[in-house]
């Protein structure tokens, strides 16, 4: 079965940094597009960043210049480096594989001010 397991969430002060990880299994990771999404209380789940199998990236305007998505095919892991975080970044962050075909359980990120 396909499993996506997020980790790295937690409480961080505004202006600080976090690095989220998503470990994938049960898929051919190297040819799978991956993405990070987030959902804040009372809001819709939104795209944060995506990365194709070829390494092409896209970001939501709200995180552009602050967040970086990357992947390590040798470790079957996708990362989200979150820098200069803001309170509005507070959300549950979800890892997705193959354009939303699979989802992880999410990891909570809380940014205090």
User: Which pLDDT score is estimated for 32?
Assistant: 94
Burial 77-98 (b: 16+ CB within 10 A, else e): bbbbebeebeeebbbbbbbbbe
Residue whose pair of structure tokens reads 């210049």 in the numeric block = 65
pLDDT digits (tens), the chain, 113 positions: 999 999 999 999 999 999 999 999 999 999 999 999 999 999 999 999 999 999 999 999 999 999 999 999 999 999 999 999 999 999 999 999 998 999 999 999 999 99
SS3 content of the chain, % helix, strand, coil (to 5): 5, 50, 40
Residue whose pair of structure tokens reads 């996506």 in the numeric block = 4
User: Which pLDDT score is estimated for 99?
Assistant: 86
User: Which pLDDT score is estimated for 19?
Assistant: 98
């Amino acid at each position: 079965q396909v499993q996506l397991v997020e980790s790295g969430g937690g409480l961080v002060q505004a202006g600080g940094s976090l690095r989220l990880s998503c470990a994938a299994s049960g898929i051919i990771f190297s040819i799978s597009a991956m993405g990070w999404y987030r959902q804040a209380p009372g809001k819709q789940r939104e795209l944060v960043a995506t990365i194709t199998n070829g390494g092409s990236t896209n970001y939501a305007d709200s995180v552009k210049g602050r967040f970086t998505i990357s992947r390590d095919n040798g470790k079957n892991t996708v990362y989200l480096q979150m820098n200069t975080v803001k309170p509005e970044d507070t959300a549950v962050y979800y890892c997705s594989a193959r354009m939303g075909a699979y989802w992880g359980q999410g990891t909570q990120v809380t940014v205090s001010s």
